[in-house]
Every structure is written in structure tokens, then in C-alpha cells.
Chains A and B, each alone.
Chain A
Amino acid sequence: MADIVFLAMMAVTVGGAIFALESREIVYGAVGLAGSLFGVAAFFFLLDAPYVAVFQITVYVGAVAVLIIFTVMLVRHETWMKEVTYSLGRLVGILTAAAIAISLTFAWAASSQLASVPLPSTVTFLQIGQLISTSLSPALEVLALVLSASVLAAITLAKVEREED
């Protein structure tokens, strides 16, 4: 059964996600998204994955949130700040989200593993490092290439073409 800390973390995570989508100012929405991602990192701590949690805080709350806030600053414009939301579209969205949540709950309720309580974790930092540097090293190389390519693509896209003299 869930305790108070878990419920508070859940409120921060899901509330932050809803606030990110429904806040009046998009800058506040970015802050709400950062709070939601921070809540997910707290869940990672609770699940005995401190390395992943710290990685999540570094990458998402540290880098992606700042990147989003800078983009909001760059593209800030009065005309689109007033977002139009259609009530029919909102109804469809709420119904679809509710259908997905209910169907996922039913699918999980049919599983026998859900009431299980975890055994002590045996995962250490050492094992993560060993896996990354041995059997998963090709995946790490590909990931490095993808990251370089995406950074290059972002720079190429955002570069301002200067007129030839």
C-alpha cells in the first residue's frame, strides 16, 4: 500500500505534468515540466536506481529544461501566447486519455506480478560501468554518433544564413 511520501511524489509528478500542459504562461509550463521530471527522478531513487536518478536530474532538469526555457525566450511572441483550445478537441483528448488509463489499469490488474514486493537489489555502479564498457559498448558508440549527429543537425537548422557580400 502506498504511503504518504509516495502520494506526495505522485502529486508532484502528475500535477507538474498537468500544469506543464495547462498553465497560462508557457514559461511556467516549462518550470512545471521540470518539476514533473524531478518527481520521476525521485521515483528512480525510490526504486533503488540512484545512478539513473542523478542522470535524469542532470540531463532533464539541468539541460533540457534550460534549453526549453531558452527556446521559449527566443520564440516569445504576443500573437501565439493566446492559445486557442477547442472544447470538442479537449473532450476527445480527455476521453482518449481516460480510455488509455483505464485499459492499462485493466491489463495490469490481470497480471499476477503486481502485488509483489521487491527483493533486495544487487545492482551496483560497478555493474553498470562494466556493462556499458563491455557488452554494450557498440550501443554506446552508436549513441555517441547519434548525439553528435543531432547536435550538428540542431546547429545547422538554427544557423542564420548570412547574405553574401
Chain B
Amino acid sequence: MNTLADFTFVSGLLFAVGIYGLIVKRNALRMLFAVEIMINAANLNFIAFDRFLWSNSTLPQAALGQTFVLFSIALAAAEAAVVLAIIVVAYRLHKNVDVSELKTLGG
């Protein structure tokens, strides 16, 4: 049987990979990948702690953790849609999706 430590280890590893991508990559699409990976690491952590510390409760609120992750997934999908639209607009204006080349927003 897997313990809570196994799941937190996977989640921490995923989060570290996401941080690496966010620091190293300058392509807007790759940065979006990194953000999605980090959001998923957080969701996995949330479900793991919910399963081990809360979901055997007899209260009607025992499903609260899973419900929150459902909301989080929906919000992440909305965020991805907006970011992808911004990337399409940036490409149309600059013919590039490298964030170090997009200086219009820099002021």
C-alpha cells in the first residue's frame, strides 16, 4: 500500500520540473506547459492529503477536497484558454512567441 509520502514525493518532483521549465524556457508555449505541470502537481498534492487525512470522515463534507480540485481543474482550463489566445495575438503582432522578444508590454 502506498503511503502519503509517495504521493507527496511525486507531486514535489512535478512541481520542481515545472519551476525548472518556467525559469529556463523563453518560449511562451513551453512556459504554459510548465504552469500546467505545476497546477497539476498542486492538485495531486491536494487530492493526496484529502484522501489520507479527510476522506474517511463521516461528515457530509467529506467530499470537499475532491470538489475543490474539480473547481481548480475548471479554472486551470479557463486560464489555458486565455493564455493560448494571448499567444495567438502575440504571434500575429510579432511573428514570434519568444517572451524576451515581446517588448511591447514592457513599458
Residues in A neighbouring B61, C-beta threshold 8 A: 131, 135
Tell me, rounded to whole Å, the shortest Cβ–Cβ distance linking A144 to chain B.
9
Residues in A neighbouring B29, C-beta threshold 8 A: 26, 29, 68, 71-72, 75
Residues in A neighbouring B97, C-beta threshold 8 A: 75, 80
Q: A64-B77, A100-B16, A121-B51 are in contact. Are A21 and B66 (CB under 8 A)?
A: no
Interface majority SS (helix, strand, loop, mixed), chain A: helix
B contact residues, total (Cβ < 8 Å): 76
Interface residues on A, range: 35 or more
Q: A21-B34, A118-B51 are in contact. Are A71 and B74 (CB under 8 A)?
A: no
Task: Assess the B24–A37 pair: CB atoms within 8 A.
Answer: no
Chain B residues within 8 Å of A, Cβ to Cβ: 1-10, 12-21, 23-27, 29-30, 32-34, 36-37, 40, 43-44, 47-48, 50-53, 55-58, 60-64, 66-67, 69-71, 73-82, 84-89, 91, 95-98
Known: A49-B50, A97-B19, A121-B56. 12 other contacts (CB 8 A): A21-B34, A26-B27, A26-B29, A40-B40, A68-B29, A75-B87, A113-B4, A122-B57, A123-B55, A143-B71, A154-B84, A157-B82
